[in-house]
Amino acid sequence: MKESPYKILIVDDEASFRNSLKGALKKDYKVTEAASSEAAIKKVLESPPDVVLLDISMPGVDGLETLTKIREHDDYIAVIMVTAYGEIKTVVQAINQGAVDYLTKPIDMDELQIAISKALERLRFKQEIAALRQALAREYNIDNLIGKSPEFLGALSMAKRIARSPDANVYIGGESGVGKELFARAIHFNSPRVSGPFVAVNCAAINKEVVESELFGYKRGAFTGAHTKGKKGFFEEAHSGTLLLDEVADLPLDVQAKLLRVLEEKEFYPVGDSQPKKADVRIIAATNQPLEKLCEAGQFRQDLYFRLATIAINITPLRERQEDILLLVNYFLEMFNNKYEKNFRRVSKKAAEILTNHPWKGNVRELKNAIERVTLLEDATEVKPEHLDFLTPAVPSPASAKREKEEHSFPPSRIPSTGICLDDVIKQIISTAYTQTDKNQVQTAKLLGITRNTLLYRLKKYGIR
């Protein structure tokens, strides 16, 4: 019969009790024993057990103090307290100190086996979580983020400094696909909050009718159709960790006001509840829309923006940092070589030019998908130009071609013989720019290269409403 990998330590001052338990368990587990707290701690240090059966009432150092010492050395050992009748108060104290269960003397062997099985299941779960966290910490190590352009290295340096803080709010801006969530995860997994959860929420994907209850949860019976037990919101799920509010610009204004209160008061109210809950959460907000412009247009609260953007990182589009493209290409080639058992080793010079000069409107996400397609569909050791035919820009439609021609034919190369009215031309240009920016005065002024005061004067002069 295969020997069990799990070790159990029995700690009790009665030799007959230890022998009885050892006889019942030695067929299924590796069993050791200790008659005192000192002997138990020595065994824990020499060869940590998976489960400890610990008697509460021992002469000298009792079970509670022994439990504390075990926890100081190893937080993963599952400790089951063994007690006589009348010690329930002490058992409660032991559970609060980290014991996973308790058994009452005389021990029922079936109950003992069930308690050990549950303790081992819980131990395996904790070990799996720890292993997953370690793997994630390695995967999202800030130094693993790939790029060498000055813009990228600047954002990376800022992320490293932010990670040292446990609670400073962060705003990450940039186009879709540049890696905002990747930066957010790197900040979390390199911060003092790494042992807490990382919860990512796409605010744009939440129905506007339920966004408040999704963020803050609700009390049972809070509204028609509410779950009978109530529901935890994302803030509660992210307790002691990090909450990424992706596409934060899509939150309704009334919810923005409540989010502002959470950031200021460090507490929130579930829907239908009059009792606040603590919000021990670091907020990272991300969006592909410029919040500054939305604030000017009255579509995003300026006070919330200032709260969220305690520290701001802007990730430059991939097309503006060409020196990062081939680094990412080689990284993705290695990734998909392993995934699809391929053998791509290099990128030809011509293919490198195509990849470097492609506009990558979908940024890193589009590049990753392109390299995965090449690796999956082609059998070669070198990426060649013909492998990238799908990246050839589409032929522009007649309408877009006409629009492009109009944009590039300004100003006109010839004035009609009948002449023109300069004021009419200026009015038309201002009106066009004003419409193009959805009547955003700041953006219109930028587009025209004039000050906002000059724009206001022109709007009034030409009667543009």
- In this structure, the answer to whether residues 379 and 289 fall within a common structural domain is no
How many CA atoms lie less than 13 Å away from 43 in the CB half-sphere? 21
Domain termination site, one of 111, 134, 157: 134
pLDDT score of 381: 93
| Together in a domain, 331 and 312 | no
**pLDDT for the residue numbered 228:** 58
pLDDT of residue 394: 44
| Residue 321 is assigned to a structural domain of this protein | no
* Residue 99 counted as domain residue: yes
311 and 212 housed in the same domain: yes
What is the CATH number for 421? 1.10.10.60
Give pLDDT, residue 140.
57
- Our count of domains for the chain comes to 4
Q: Would 1 be classed as within a structural domain?
A: no
2 lies in a domain? Answer: no
- pLDDT: is 367 or 434 the higher one? 367
Residue 48 has pLDDT above 50, yes or no: yes
Interval 336-379: pLDDT, tens = 999 999 999 999 999 999 999 999 999 999 999 999 999 999 99
When computed from its CA atoms, the radius of gyration of the chain, rounded to whole angstroms, is 32
Task: Identify whether 80 is part of a domain.
Answer: yes
pLDDT the model gives residue 412? 61
Q: Which of 107, 134, 161 is the last residue of a domain?
A: 134
pLDDT band (50, 70, 90) for residue 232: confident
Residues 307 and 243 in one domain: yes
Q: Could you give the CA distance from residue 455 to residue 439 in angstroms, rounded to a whole number? A: 11
Domain, as residue range, for 352:
326-391
Q: What pLDDT is recorded for position 4?
A: 61
| Residue 221 and residue 195 share a domain | yes
Which sign does the torsion angle of CA 397, 403, 406, 408 carry?
A: negative
* Distance in angstroms (rounded) separating the CA atoms of residues 232 and 217: 5
Same domain as 413, residue 333: no
Residue 235: pLDDT above 80?
Answer: yes
Which stretch of 290-304, 320-334, 428-442 has the lowest confidence by average pLDDT? 428-442
Q: Is the model's pLDDT at 61 over the cut of 90?
A: no
Please write the tens of the pLDDT for every residue from 118-127: 888 888 877 7
Confidence of residue 175 (pLDDT cuts 50, 70, 90): very high
Q: What is the pLDDT of residue 83?
A: 84
Banded pLDDT at 210 (limits 50, 70, 90): confident
Cα–Cα distance between 34 and 286 in angstroms, integer? 55
pLDDT at 416 over 80: no
- pLDDT for 1: 43
Q: What is the pLDDT of residue 395?
A: 47
Contact partners, residue 373, CB within 8 Å, separation at least 6: 390
Do 81 and 20 lie in one domain? The reply is yes
Give per-residue burial for 7-45: e unless 16+ CB within 10 Å, then b. Answer: bbbbbbeeeebbebbeeebeeebbbbbbbbbeebbebbe
Where does a domain end: 372, 391, 410?
391
pLDDT higher at 404 or 34: 34
Residue type, 38: E
The residue with tokens 């939150």 is 251
User: What is the pLDDT, as a whole number, of residue 401?
Assistant: 53
Give the pLDDT of residue 129. Answer: 67
Q: Is residue 51 domain-shared with residue 197, that is, in the same domain?
A: no
CB 175 within 8 A of CB 288: yes
To 10 degrees, the CA torsion angle through 331, 332, 335, 336? Answer: -150
Residue 225 pLDDT > 80: no
- The answer as to whether 32 is a domain residue is yes
- The pLDDT tens digits for 92-104 are 888 888 888 888 8
CATH of the domain at 378: 1.10.8.60
Whether 151 and 283 map to the same domain: the answer is: yes
Q: What's the confidence (pLDDT) of residue 230? A: 72
- Averaged pLDDT of the chain: 85
**Is 181 in the same domain as 283?**
yes
Tell me the average pLDDT across 425-443. Answer: 85
What the block records as the tokens of 336 is: 């998909």
- At residue 275, the pLDDT reads 87
> Percent of the chain beyond pLDDT 90?
38
The answer to whether residue 396 is domain-embedded is: no
Instruction: Give pLDDT, residue 132.
Output: 65
pLDDT of 63-90, one tens digit each? 888 998 888 887 788 899 888 765 677 7
Residues 65 and 18 in one domain: yes
Contact 62, 33 (CB under 8 A): no
User: In terms of domains, do 46 and 16 share one?
Assistant: yes
Please report where in the chains the tokens 């002691």 appear, as a residue: 240
Give the CATH number, domain containing residue 231: 3.40.50.300
CATH value at residue 127:
3.40.50.2300
